[in-house]
């Protein structure tokens, strides 16, 4: 088969846990190999590429040069900004994450923040945020498409990426830079336990009779009524499950500052 014209992608890792990459590689529609062989050319990704050390740094510089103005930038992770960004340095020349993001963003055709870390700062930005970790949109001058979630589902990441690749346009975004197709409704609006909520059937304690019967998790801390995401529809791990299905309330992980504003994440 003829090789399609693949769009170069540079994927950077800042202060994060790589859970977003883990979620991303679970994709089954398209499969990861279809995505990599037909749609994108993954030029740089610290946990998926073979190169390391000097070679990795050179690859990044070369990809930015060769594909200037034509590559997509994906950033996973918040960007520490205190002390000139030196809480995060990467590679043999110890460039700061701040510097690496700004350089890569300057030559990018479009910029995506995958996960709540790069969308909103992430758990490392929790009060009192000693490293002053920030969202990508706060440290660069270009518009950023935010795909928050901790992690986001593979469908939300790849759906928005493919939308851009296939149509050449960005999906409609909400106030926080999130695509409306995936973050337009609340978790509570789409939840399979919503009937239990409406009927006043609540889990009072984890492990009680209501928990066994699949009652609503609101009283044990579910933040579904305050959270915009499509988890109950798209689920995770190729549609296997999602938090509420697994018996735990939503923690609001796709909302700005969820680590502070949604606390406590679980009611005892």
Which residue in 118, 119, 146, 254 binds ligand F3S (CB under 6 A)?
A: 254
Q: Shortest approach of ligand F3S to residue 226 CB, angstroms? A: 10
Q: Which does 254 bind (CB under 5 to 8 A by kind): ligand F3S, ligand SF4, none?
A: ligand F3S
Q: Shortest approach of ligand SF4 to residue 199 CB, angstroms? A: 10
Q: Which does 231 bind (CB under 5 to 8 A by kind): ligand SF4, ligand F3S, none?
A: ligand F3S
Dump the DSSP string for the chain: -PPP-PEEEEEEE-BS-SHHHHHHTT-BTTBHHHIIIIIEEEEE-TTT-S--HHHHHHHHHHHHHHTTTTEEEEEESBEE-GGGGTTSEETTTTEEHHHHHHHHHHTEEEEEEESHHHHH--GGGSTT-TT-EE-HHHHSSS--EEE-SSSPPHHHHHHHHHHHHHHSSPPPB-TTS-BHHHHSSBHHHH-TTHHHHHTT-B--STTSHHHHTT-B-GGGT--GGG-B--HHHH-BTTTTB-TTTTT-----TTSTTHHHHT-SSS--
Q: Which stretch binds ligand F3S (CB under 6 A): 35-43, 138-146, 199-207, 247-255?
A: 247-255
Shortest-Cβ-distance residue relative to ligand SF4: 224
Residues 170-209 as x/- pattern, contact with ligand F3S by CB under 6 A = -----------------x----------------------
Residues interacting with ligand SF4, by CB under 6 A? Answer: 16-17, 19-20, 76-77, 115-117, 122-123, 150-151, 187-188, 191, 193-194, 197, 216-218, 222, 224-225, 244, 249-250
Which residue in 79, 90, 125, 231 binds ligand F3S (CB under 6 A)?
A: 231
Binding site for ligand F3S (CB under 6 A): 149, 187, 227, 229, 231, 242-243, 250-254
């Amino acid at each position: 088969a003829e090789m399609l014209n693949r769009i170069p992608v540079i994927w950077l890792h800042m202060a994060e846990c790589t859970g977003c990459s883990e979620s991303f590689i679970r994709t089954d529609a398209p499969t990861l190999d279809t995505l990599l062989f037909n749609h994108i050319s993954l030029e740089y990704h610290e946990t998926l590429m073979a190169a390391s050390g000097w070679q990795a740094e050179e690859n990044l510089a070369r990809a930015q040069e060769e594909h200037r103005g034509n590559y997509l930038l994906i950033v996973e992770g918040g960007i520490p900004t205190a002390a000139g960004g030196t809480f995060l340095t990467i590679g043999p020349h110890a460039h700061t994450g701040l510097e690496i993001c700004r350089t890569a963003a300057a030559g990018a055709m479009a910029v995506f923040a995958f996960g709540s870390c790069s969308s909103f700062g992430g758990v490392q930005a929790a009060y009192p945020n000693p490293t002053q970790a920030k969202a990508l949109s706060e440290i660069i001058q270009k518009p950023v498409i935010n795909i928050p979630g901790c992690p986001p589902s593979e469908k939300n990441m790849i759906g928005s990426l493919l939308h851009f690749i296939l149509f050449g346009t960005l999906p409609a975004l909400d106030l926080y830079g999130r695509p409306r197709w995936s973050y337009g409704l609340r978790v509570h609006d789409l939840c399979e336990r919503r009937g239990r909520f409406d009927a006043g059937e609540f889990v009072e304690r984890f492990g009680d009779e209501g928990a066994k019967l699949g009652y609503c998790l609101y009283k044990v801390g579910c933040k579904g009524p305050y959270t915009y995401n499509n988890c109950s529809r798209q689920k995770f791990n190729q549609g296997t499950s999602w938090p509420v299905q697994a018996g735990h309330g939503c923690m609001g992980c796709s909302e700005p500052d969820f680590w502070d504003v949604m606390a406590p994440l679980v009611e005892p």
